[in-house]
A and B are shown apart, each in its own frame.
Chain A
Amino acid sequence: MTLLSIEGLGISFGGIAAVKNVSFRVSPGEIVSVIGPNGAGKTTLFNMISGVYQPGSGKVVLNGEDVTAMSPHLLARRGMSRTFQNLQIFQTMSVLENTLAGYHLQESGPVLADLLNLPSSRRRARAAEEGARALLKRVGLERAAEREAGSLSYGSLKRLEIARAMALKPKVLLLDEPAAGCNAVETEEIDHLIAEIAASGVAILLVEHDMKMVMRISNHIVVLDHGEKIAEGDPATVSRDPAVIAAYLGAEHAAG
């Protein structure tokens, strides 16, 4: 059963194609990884899927519905949630409040009720807070709940973004380099967390440079190079693919 289907997605900036004709599918409980050298177009692909960029061509189909170029807040209502490679944290809010923001769809109600501080407004806020604290515990940030988010370490912020994204109770979760900047222990923790989330039936789309992690947890891997899909398959197949090896070696030579 397909939950998310990407069909021929493409976009170009100033005449240069950043992503070209990329297609693949993701099912519930599945972990699909998108890998590729720097600048391959992975983040751009995520931005199109999550409605942040308007695709130049192609379609995004979620649960049978065409959601191409739909505004992110409407995608959120349909069960899509994501994290960002370059952190998008609400800096001046507390860690708890950052997580609570993820409960927006569940906790928000009439403005007038909030203005008058009606019991209904307080009840909504309280229910969300319990959920948020439980989530923080799950990502190991419960002790930092009251701290200002801006004061946390990079690795902690990565986990905070996961907690916030989880707060939406998503059907599809897009994670853009969740383990970047984390040490070996933290990476392992995130690794477990992702597996756990997938086991609960969430479809996961992952971008990650840590190849060990990708090979360990992915069900399916999509390889991008210069915006194009050059290979696709299970971890074993992809890691033997000559085009993939060439792309990575080429990238390393160029960078080196």
Chain B
Amino acid sequence: MPNFTLNINNKDYSVEAESDMPLLWVLRDILDLTGTKYGCGVASCGACTVIMDGNAVFSCQRPVGACVNKKIITIEGLSEDGNHPVQKAWQKARVPQCGYCQPGQMMRAAAMLGKNKKPTDETISSEMSNHLCRCGTYHRIKEAIHIAIEEINK
């Protein structure tokens, strides 16, 4: 089986996997980084979102073979101890219900704010609409993103 070196959360990992295995399953099943979630496998829900070279990507759509020489950040590596402005904002707005979609939602928000500290409502809306939350926490996600924007622009 082929071997790949992946840079995840600023650490190099060597993994053995079929080259078409999506990053999602490499993270979850080989590296036990289960904070990245499976929701659909077909780019329809956003649960699997990670940050790759600064962009939010669906890890279910990235074969491991295409992930070498990239800087990958997962929810486990978003911050040392949950103190990324997005996580703090999520905490303040008490966003999660079941919480299952939230790692993906937060990774998207973090990537968006990493590129643009003052996104317009239209940008926020089109970015966040890549994600589903069956528990319906959209109202609070909106609130949390605005808290985070305020925080990073202080």
A binds B: no
Binding site for B on A (CB under 8 A): none
